[in-house]
Structure 1
Amino acid sequence: MTPNYTLSGRYRIVRSLGEGGMANVYLAHDLILDRDVAVKLLRLDLRDDPKTIKRFQREALATTELVHPHIVSLYDIGEENGMQYLVMEYVKGMDLKNYIKENFPIPLQQVIDIMEQILSAVATAHAHNIIHRDLKPQNILIDEQGNAKITDFGIAVALSEHSMTQTNTILGSVHYLSPEQARGSMATKQSDIYSLGIILYEMLTGSVPFKGETAVSIALKHFQNAIPSVRDFDADIPQALENVVLCATAKDPRDRYATVEDMASDLLTTLSSTRVGEKRFVPDDVGNDETKIMPSAEIQAAIKANQDGKTQVMPRKTAAEADQVQPKPAPAQPKEPAEEPVRPTRSWSKRHPLRRRLLIIGTIILLLVAAIVIGLELSRPQSTTVPRVTGLSQAAATKVLAKRNLSVGEVKRVKSNQVATGQVVKTTPGTKTKVSEHARINLTISSGAKKMNFGNYVNESYRDVRQTLKSAGFTVRERFSTSDVATGQIISQDVAAGSSVLPTTTTVTFTVSAGSRYVALKDLTGESQADITDYAQSNGLNVNFKRGYSSEQKAGYSYDQTPDGGADVRAGSTITVTMSRGSQPETAATPTNFYVKLTLPYKALTPTTTQANDVKIYLQDDNHVLGTLYRDLAIMHDTRISLPFELTGKTKGRYRIVRNGVTISEKFNVTSQDATN
Structure 2
Amino acid sequence: MKSGYILSGRYQIVQTLGEGGMANVYLAYDLILKRDVAVKLMRLDLRDNEAAIRRFRREAISLTELVHPNIVNIYDIDEDNGTQFLVMEYVEGMDLKSYIAQNYPIGYEKVVNIMDQVLSAVEEAHAHDIIHRDLKPQNILINADGQVKITDFGIALAASEYSLTQTNTLMGSVHYLSPEQARGSVVTKQSDIYSLGIILFELLTSRVPYQGETAVSIALKHFQNDMPSVRDIDSQIPQALENVVLKATAKNLIDRYQSVSKMKDDIETSLSYTRNGEKKWEPTNLVEDETRILEPIQEKQVKKASDSDVMEKTLKKNAKKKWSKKKKWIVWISIIGALILFIAFIVAIAVSPKNVSVPDLQGMNKAEAETALKAQKLTIGDIKYRSSSKYDSGQIILSSPTQGSTVRQNSKVALVISNGPEKNVFGNYKGQSYAKVKQLLENKGVTVIKETRASDSIAKGEIIKQSVAAKKKVIWKQTTVKFIVSSGAKVITLRDLTGYTEKSVEDYAQELGLVLNVENGSSTDSSDSELVISQEPAANTRVKVGDTLNVVLGSVDASSATNATESDSSSEDSESSAAKNFSLNVTIPYQSLSTSSTSSTSSSSSSSALNTVQIYLQDDNHNYSDVYQEFTISSDTSVTLPFTLSGSDTGKYKIVRDGQVIAEKTNITN
Same fold (TM over 0.5): no
**TM-score, normalising length: structure 2:** 0.41
**TM-score, normalising length: structure 1:** 0.41
Which has the higher Rg, Structure 1 or Structure 2? 2
